[in-house]
Amino acid sequence: MWLNVHILTLVLAILSAVKAATFNVAISTGGHAQPDTLYGLMYEDINHVCYAQLASSSRAHIFISQSGDGGLYAELIQNRAFQQVTPGTSAALNSWAALNAASRISVVRSNVPVSAALPNALSLAVNAGTTDSVGFTNTGFWGFPVTANTRYQGSFYYRFPNPPSNQVSGNFNVDLRSTGGTVFTSTSVPFTSSAGWKKVTFTFTPSATQASANNLFAVSVTGATVSGLTVEFTLVSLFPPTFNNRPNGMRIDISQALADLKPTFFRFPGGNNLEGQTPARRWIWNNTIGDLLDRPGRQGDWSYVNTDGLGLFDYLQWIEDMGMEPIMGVWAGYTLNTQSVPENQLGPYVQEVLDQIHFAISDSSTNAQGRRRAALGHPAPFNVRYVEIGNEDWISAGGLASYNNYRWRVFASAISTTFPQLRLISTSGTSGNVPSVSGPRPIYWDLHIYENPNWFRNSAYNFDILPRNDLRFFQGEYAVTNANNGTRLSYPTVEGAITEAAYMTGFDRNSDIVFAAAYAPLLNHISSTQWTPNLISYSPNTLFKSTSYYVQQMFGVYKGDFYLTSTTNTASAPVQWSVTRNTSAGQVYLKVINTSTSAHTVVFTLPSSITTINAAGTGRILTGAAATMNTPSSPNAVVPRSFTFTAGRTITYSAVAWSASVLVVGAR
């Protein structure tokens, strides 16, 4: 159904030969409303390998790079509760080190676990006769920010497994320090040698900002007070201020960068993260809610554990705080080892999904899961309208067959019977082709595409050629991931971003059938990146935005509420455009995307039904050399800039090579 994109070489040749051209664009008053949900976010946190893809593609290791733990989720301590690790191994000590040789640390299975979900603890065994300061450090997620006048709030649990007969007491010192030992901020908390777990809380506020994030968190104690004793610690936590001041909340700078995209929805918790490698390792919603003591965490499928500190309630609360709506994924009986749960064994999983939805939206006065939500502080139902059943259920032949034969039917029937108001999204369609699926007819389809710039340039009309019927499409994941020669991109390039923008004009133009779209993946930690490229990159104390980020922002901020039909172009043309209107603001947005190496002119003529048009307008442009990227060493290599232009009923705009522009005209 889609345009054949294997004429890329030919198209490239044509493009490079294109001389400056002029495109005359007549704008009509007709068109269609832009859906409220059109531009949003796709999010997940996991490090995994996807077996089905290993066999068949260059996407050998499909990872998401500390998007939640170490990213959006503001917790600063890595491996804070020794979740899902094997006690006694050096791997279990990931991120932890003893302060000096006067004590030894190890991860143990505590004889008296702090909770059923958190059986492990860090054991600090202090040498007899020690007078030195002893303790341990944590490396954080590749460092710690130290920011002046910022209040960091911490806590941990401790116990003395073999307390001395004469109770001892003293102080634990907690601090942020350089790797060389310079203490930037500290405080102390009193302890007594109790055999039962005790929780301590503390705060500290650095007076100066440290440019480097190469810092440690340390807990220490004067050796003389604990000489010859062992102390266990767990759930060691440190938070900076969070977005909207939520306890257990999200990083402010990442939240703000996302908010600046003006996103309308947030798809979570995956992506492949939803699926797990086996049914036992799937994302289990009720392991992610309530007290952190009750969250066991989950074995990530490749190299890191998900703490699930960022759990279902935390997602929903933050999504609401951000003014977005959730597109909530539910597990659909398929895992990344290509295993499908047989139909006659799906019952408990279906109930789990129904409970997840009840938790999100059911009345807290009549439903037990709704009551659990209310007990966590949100009596009102969250605004969930869309539920997505599974993820990429085309990924293996067996997964596709089981989804289309029974998995969709079983889950969709049960959900729509209990929650007839929900819009259920199917995941077994690909690239505009939707298979026949048994059970309730899917109306909403999530399609994913990762490709090269030529594919995106030449696919700008893929949705135009789809039949107009009741089907609605969610471009749930898309990105330029490779250069045209196949090289994997480390960060989005100008060429990638601009060709994504050309493709996105197709979302505006076809928003009568495309109800939502999201670039993916969203986030990566620059010190732990396995999937590239990503939209936003960060370290503990920096954040930078990619070229693709600025394109997403252009389409999000200048979405408008109505698409105005205009002269169309062809997929192989060097310039694409879309025209939308913000009725209440009295503005028309002209987006012009030039995916070629030459400048081209576009002449827009506004329709006569628009009677009042300003004589001047303001615009934003993103442009640069095709291969340029924003990187940690050059984070602002390409950023948008503003300009003014002469407006009126006819607007002539010269779009420079490799550019995405929006022209904003006051017009009523």
Tell me, by CB under 6 A, how many residues bind ligand AHR: 12
Strand order in the sheet with 444-451: 41-42, 265-268, 325-330, 386-389, 423-426, 444-451, 472-480, 514-519
The three-state (H, E, C) secondary structure of 307-336, written as one string: CCCCCHHHHHHHHHHCCCEEEEEECCCECC
Evaluate whether 126 touches 225 at the Cβ level (below 8 Å). Answer: no
Which residue in this structure is represented by tokens 């009840």?
A: 358
**Which residue bears the tokens 């603890």?**
121
Q: How far is CA 483 from CA 332, 489, 495, 558, 598, in A?
A: 34, 7, 9, 28, 20
Contacts with ligand AHR, 245-284, as mask; x by CB under 6 A: -------------------------xxx------------
Name the residue nearer to ligand AHR (CB basis): 68 or 223.
68
Give yes or no for a contact between 507 and 516, defined as CB atoms under 8 angstroms apart: no
Nearest-approach distance from CB 254 to ligand AHR, in angstroms: 17
Return the number of the residue (126 or 330) whose C-beta is nearest ligand AHR.
Answer: 330
Q: CA-CA distance, 600 to 532, in Å (whole number)?
A: 32
Nearer to ligand AHR among residue 123 and residue 339 (C-beta): 339
Per-residue string for binding with ligand AHR, 71-110, x by CB under 6 A? ----------------------------------------
Closest approach of Cβ 275 to ligand AHR, in Å? 9
492 vs 624, which CB is nearer to ligand AHR? 492
Identify residues 516-545 at the interface with ligand AHR (CB under 6 A): 520-521, 531
DSSP strands (E only) in 224-369 = 230-239, 265-268, 325-330
Question: Of the two residues 46 and 554, which places its CB atom closer to ligand AHR in the complex?
Answer: 46
**Site of tokens 């197709």:** 506
Q: Which is nearer to ligand AHR, 56 or 436 (CB)?
A: 56
Interface mask (CB under 6 A) for ligand AHR, residues 380-409, using x and -? -----------xx-----------------
- Nearest distance in Å: CB 157, ligand AHR: 34
Determine whether 31 is exposed, middle or buried from the number of CB atoms within 10 Å of its CB (0-12, 13-18, 19+): buried
Give me the least distance between CB of 250 and ligand AHR, in Å please. 20
Instruction: Calculate ∠ Cα 398-399-401, nearest 5°.
Output: 65
Q: How many CB atoms lie within 10 A of CB 107?
A: 24
Return the number of the residue (521 or 540) whose C-beta is nearest ligand AHR.
521
What is the secondary structure of 511-562 as a DSSP string?
TTTEEEEEES--EEETTS--S---SEEE-SS-EEE-HHHHHHHHHHHT--SE
Q: Which is nearer to ligand AHR, 524 or 539 (CB)?
A: 524
Smallest distance, ligand AHR to C-beta of residue 59, A: 7
Least CB distance from residue 442 to ligand AHR, whole Å? 18
Select 58 or 165, whichever has its Cβ closest to ligand AHR: 58
User: Which residue number places its CB atom closest to ligand AHR?
Assistant: 271
Cβ nearer to ligand AHR, comparing 492 with 607: 492
| Beta carbon of residue 477, minimum distance to ligand AHR (angstroms, whole number) | 5
Site for ligand AHR in 638-667 (CB under 6 A): none
Residue with tokens 């007078």: 131
Minimum distance from residue 451 beta carbon to ligand AHR (Å): 12
Of positions 27, 41, 62, 117, contacts ligand AHR by CB under 6 A: 62
Residue 234 and residue 157 in contact, taking contact as beta carbons nearer than 8 Å: yes
Least Cβ distance, residue 168 to ligand AHR (angstroms):
51
Per CB under 6 A, contacts with ligand AHR among 27-56 are: 44
Pairing of strands 514-519, 386-389: unpaired
Residue 477 as a binder of ligand AHR (CB under 6 A): the answer is yes
Q: How many CA atoms lie within 13 A of 166 on its CB side?
A: 2
Smallest gap, in angstroms, from Cβ of residue 538 to ligand AHR?
17
Nearer Cβ to ligand AHR, position 63 or 82? 63
CB atoms inside a 10 Å sphere around CB 538: 25
Residue 49, helix vs strand vs coil:
coil
What element of type H or E holds 449? strand 444-451
Q: Minimum CB separation from ligand AHR for residue 334, in Å? A: 12
Which residues of this chain interact with ligand AHR, rule CB under 6 A?
Answer: 44, 62, 270-272, 391-392, 448, 477, 520-521, 531
